[in-house]
Chain A
């Protein structure tokens, strides 16, 4: 067969192959798509806190003091089967696929999504003996009206940490990241779309969760301006700070605490943390019980236990917990670095992370990828 004929045949066959594959893929996908539970007003389940089997626990690794878990196992004579995820999309994918976990720990935005999607159990919070210890802010959070499905877990703020031996003249503003040319090559931002793009929006005076294309575009340009001065983007801000690789770090408050507690005291005393006047992102995780949890009674006991032992958790994770005891304990832990503290006042004035919506998520992903490019 002649060469051109052969090439045309190959081209045609290859094109048909891909088209066929795509169609096959779509067909199979449509068949395989699981219908999610119907969303809408959840009826409050009447679950009693009592042991009904072992606990299936799904969380980040090293995100809860092991003594709390061991204490729970001992008190109620059950085992806690721990599985871990290492990012939110991985967690969501597992939950979507219906794996029978009892409790998991989504961030506020993911909790909102799961609730809207009908994946969460609504239960009577008065069954929790420690519920009254939780600060009033969380009795009706934006992501869970009346807080029927969630209890809050850890709290943090996002700000700027710096090594005062190398850099001075910080003004408590997000502009500090842009205005220190002497630190060129030693600045890092967080490799987190919502944190960093949101921060750029705040600095320009816009809403942290804006989905306005023009505003996002401006934010992206500002970040691209900053990019040449950056060493990079990281999610391991603990390590970059502790290793001396950076002088200025866009950081999560809890990681700042963990970093300074691991440094030599002679180094740690130079590190400082500020929150910024244009807006302080305040985030929180939550604990949720899944609608198809096989052991909801044990789960309720566990949630109650964790809240009751909030004080034990704060030093281990480096993050504050929103119960009266937890807040007091955390205040003591960070007494040398008071700016790391998360107080109820900061919650009311802080900027929450909100769900961006499908279209918003698409827009943000496209803009954020430009920053990465």
Chain B
């Protein structure tokens, strides 16, 4: 029957993904329990002691810091992104597409260039400090903006804001004006309508947006490296340090497995809520 044609279609993609995605993830876990030989090649075995130092306070600090940065970024993205999505859907009118396009456009600028834009804006010899200097503010530099946690959170927000706006736009678009009008008839004030009608109906999109912002920013390292500095390092920076700095690779693999484990629960929640409910990745 016809079905076998479609089943055949599945095979190339599935084989590729298993061989080049699932297996490498397996490698990470496998190497994390191994050690190395004299020339640094991973040797497989059972050494759970590789994980022992991770539970020491220095690492838990970095872990919590990474999660905190990601959480802060997510919250700011909600606070900025929800009003924007709502505005475009409800009041954009015939400019809806244009406004959405404008908001998404910066995302098509390369990630590194976006971080660089922030470096040149906030840097010691950057634009803002130059402005302050011309205005007569003393100090060299007038304000230490870069190499702070705030710069990192700001950079992460800048990187991932479109990921919050897109799913919200999709889900709010489905709700439609008339439903909101009906809600107003029911509840009277716009605020009540919002909290009792709009917000609950937009929850799938909101969850999708949260996952799409939280998950990548927790594992980010370039932003922290270039905008942060040693006191703001995230887990990604530590992993980078081990692999690029000729360290003990199994330990780097253990840190990576830690990232996987910690983000596993949010990933599952995302799959449960967002994919079952509403539209997610618009397309």
Binding site for B on A (CB under 8 A): 3, 6-7, 10-11, 14, 17-18, 20-26, 28-30, 33, 36, 39, 87-89, 92-93, 95-96, 113-114, 116-117, 119, 191-193, 227-228, 230, 232-233, 358, 361-362, 364-366, 368-370, 372-373
The yes or no answer to B242 lying at the interface (CB within 8 A) is yes
The answer to whether A117 touches B37, judged by C-beta atoms less than 8 angstroms apart, is yes
Select A373's contact among B27, B61, B246, beta carbons within 8 Å: B61
The answer to whether A95 touches B39, judged by C-beta atoms less than 8 angstroms apart, is yes
Contacts of A93 in B (CB 8 A): 40
The answer to whether A36 touches B37, judged by C-beta atoms less than 8 angstroms apart, is yes
Contacts of B117 in A (CB 8 A): none
Contacts of A92 in B (CB 8 A): 39-40
The yes or no answer to B182 lying at the interface (CB within 8 A) is no
The answer to whether B27 touches A14, judged by C-beta atoms less than 8 angstroms apart, is no
User: 10 extra interchain contacts, Cβ-Cβ under 8 A, other than A87-B244, A373-B233?
Assistant: A7-B268, A21-B22, A25-B24, A30-B44, A89-B243, A89-B249, A193-B246, A228-B231, A232-B230, A370-B58
Give the most central of B28, B38, B244: most A CB within 10 Å. Answer: B38
The yes or no answer to B83 lying at the interface (CB within 8 A) is no
Give the most central of B40, B237, B250: most A CB within 10 Å. Answer: B40
The dominant DSSP class at the A interface is helix
The answer to whether A373 touches B58, judged by C-beta atoms less than 8 angstroms apart, is yes
The answer to whether A29 touches B22, judged by C-beta atoms less than 8 angstroms apart, is no
Write out, one digit per residue, whether chain B residues 242-255 have a CB within 8 A of any chain A CB (1) or not (0).
11111111111001
Select A117's contact among B35, B38, B245, B268, beta carbons within 8 Å: B38
| Chain B residue at minimal CB-CB distance from A360 | B248
Whether A25 contacts B58 in the complex (CB less than 8 A), given A7-B268, A10-B268, comes out as no
The answer to whether A362 touches B237, judged by C-beta atoms less than 8 angstroms apart, is no
Bound-state Cα–Cα, A28 to B18, Å: 13
The dominant DSSP class at the B interface is helix
Bound-state Cα–Cα, A358 to B247, Å: 10
Binding site for A on B (CB under 8 A): 22-31, 35-42, 44, 50, 53, 56, 58-59, 61-62, 147, 229-231, 233, 237-238, 241-252, 255, 264, 268, 271-272
Contacts of A116 in B (CB 8 A): 38-39
Bound-state Cα–Cα, A87 to B50, Å: 24
Whether A25 contacts B26 in the complex (CB less than 8 A), given A10-B268, A14-B268, A193-B246, comes out as yes
| Chain A residue at minimal CB-CB distance from B254 | A366
Contacts of A373 in B (CB 8 A): 58-59, 61-62, 233, 238
Bound-state Cα–Cα, A41 to B88, Å: 75
| Chain A residue at minimal CB-CB distance from B28 | A25
Contacts of B249 in A (CB 8 A): 89
Bound-state Cα–Cα, A364 to B53, Å: 12
Expressed in whole angstroms, the minimum distance between the Cβ of B187 and any Cβ of chain A is 28
Expressed in whole angstroms, the minimum distance between the Cβ of A38 and any Cβ of chain B is 12
* 6 A-B pairs with least C-beta separation: A25-B26, A21-B26, A365-B247, A365-B248, A117-B39, A89-B246
| Between-chain CB contacts (< 8 Å), 25 pairs | A18-B29, A21-B26, A22-B25, A23-B26, A25-B28, A26-B30, A36-B37, A36-B39, A36-B41, A39-B38, A88-B246, A89-B243, A89-B246, A95-B39, A113-B39, A193-B246, A230-B230, A358-B36, A364-B247, A364-B248, A366-B53, A366-B248, A368-B241, A369-B238, A373-B61
